[in-house]
Amino acid sequence: MSNQTEHGSSNGGQTQDLLQPGRPAPDFNLRAKPDESFSLADFRGRPLILAFYPADWSPVCGDQMALYNQVLPEFERYGAAIVGISVDGPWCHLAFATDRNLRFPLLSDFEPKGEMARQYGVYDYAKGTSERALFVLDGEGVIRWSYVSPSEINPGADGILRALEAIAEPSPA
């Protein structure tokens, strides 16, 4: 697979630091629920989709997470896991995930606020939230694809599925 980065419109000029494909993904350890957390190591050995989004309860974010919930069987067909990430706290994520019947974890990039988004180059300093950004990591934790979408547009799942398909293809000898 050729490593790819795609950019929608830049949100506040902050995408210049977007982590590029081919780089190891920064480690993380974030809460999904008040009593549950996840780290990058928890997903080692399988592709991982990182779906950064601005905030729970906003219309576009709700639609985006609902879409990924519907497409979850397709992601799993490639052996991939997905996590949603925003600056909302774990209690807010718990209420949002319960209300939307989400079957994947939402990680809280709450304290220090936006630290993970900053590490991935997708923190919107003007709004105090992450940008709407997607990363697909391979089973070794290497970024294979990334995309930043305008915050008002649901980026869908097509790019994610193409990246997962490319990871699954055997490398030419």
Q: Where in the sequence numbering do the catalytic residues fall?
A: 61
Instruction: List, in sequence order, every beta strand (DSSP E) within 74-160.
Output: 81-86, 106-108, 123-124, 129-130, 132-137, 143-149
Q: Cis bond leading into 112, ω under 30°?
A: yes
Nearest to 122 by CA among 49, 47, 16, 1: 16
Contact 92, 56 (CB under 8 A): yes
CA distances from 118 to 18, 109, 112 (A): 9, 10, 10
With H, G, I as helix, E, B as strand and everything else as coil, classify residue 109.
Answer: coil
The residues that bridge with 30 in the sheet, in sequence order, are 38
How many whole angstroms separate alpha carbon 90 and alpha carbon 3?
33
